[in-house]
Amino acid sequence: MIISFEGLDGCGKSTQIDLTFKILQSSGKKVKVLREPGGNTVSEKIRGLLLDRDNHSMKPETEMLLYIASRAQLVREDISRLSEEGCVVILDRFVDSTTAYQGYGRGLDIETIRVLNLFATENGRYIPDLTFFLDMDTERSQSRVTSRGEEINRMESEDIAFFDRVRKGFLEISRKDPERVNVIDASGSVEEVFSRISDVLKKKELL
């Protein structure tokens, strides 16, 4: 079982992933959380390239291919093995982020991204079974990011119009694949948001 969490930065993904990990683990399941890009030595080095603000001249095509490269490494080194061991793999971002950010956000060809995502996931063998898109108003999510008091990385430094396009991309992905992608209103309290996620997990008989 592969579960992915998607959404704009600041939507509360990390908190909800941690809660989901704990409740699944407490139910007796073997669970592993991995982040994207990253998750292993090679992919973490690629992550550094992607988020480094000094790489402001990086072209959209280069950016997209680096995300795909990181994903291909993570799938072949970790996700495939963990899945075969019967582990529930929780992913902090995955294929939908590339479609939303590089496709809808950067304007790159959606079909090209679809084909490359299939390649990275071993012809779709390791596409998520269940995805949570934590939806939040763009301005609110950006306000949360800036209020952290942390250095803003290269991807986080884009303008509001870019993130508006990304959010619309996630909503379009959700509309096209409603059986897999669950849109979760992320504007409430931590407990309210997790209650919505838990309801889906129960319907999927994961709890």
Q: Cα–Cα distance between 134 and 9 in angstroms, integer? A: 10
* Each residue's pLDDT tens digit, 67-84: 999 999 999 999 999 999
110 DSSP assignment:
H
User: Average pLDDT, stretch 95-117?
Assistant: 98
Q: What is the pLDDT of residue 148?
A: 84
Number of Cβ atoms within 10 Å of the Cβ of 116: 20
Structure pTM?
Answer: 0.96
DSSP per residue, 129-189: SEEEEEE--HHHHHHHHHHT-SPP-TTTTS-HHHHHHHHHHHHHHHHH-TTTEEEEE-SS-
Q: What is the pLDDT of residue 115?
A: 98
Query: Long-range CB contacts (< 8 A, 24+ apart) of 179-185?
Result: 180/128, 180/129, 180/130, 180/131, 181/6, 181/96, 181/131, 181/132, 181/133, 182/130, 182/131, 182/132, 182/133, 183/133, 183/135, 184/132, 184/133, 184/134, 184/135, 185/135
Q: What is the pLDDT of residue 37?
A: 97
Q: Which domains does the chain have, with CATH numbers?
A: 2-203 (3.40.50.300)
**Looking up tokens 């999927």, which residue turns up?**
204
> How crowded is the C-beta side of 113, counted as CA atoms within 13 Å?
25
Share of the chain above pLDDT 90, in %: 95
Q: What is the pLDDT of residue 146?
A: 86
User: Average pLDDT, stretch 199-207?
Assistant: 96
Q: What is the pLDDT of residue 149?
A: 79
End-to-end Cα spacing for the chain: 13
CA 119 to chain centre: 18
Alpha-carbon distances, residue 106 vs 58, 156, 174 (angstroms): 12, 14, 19
Mapped onto helix, strand or coil, the DSSP state of residue 103 is: helix
**Looking up tokens 């209020």, which residue turns up?**
147
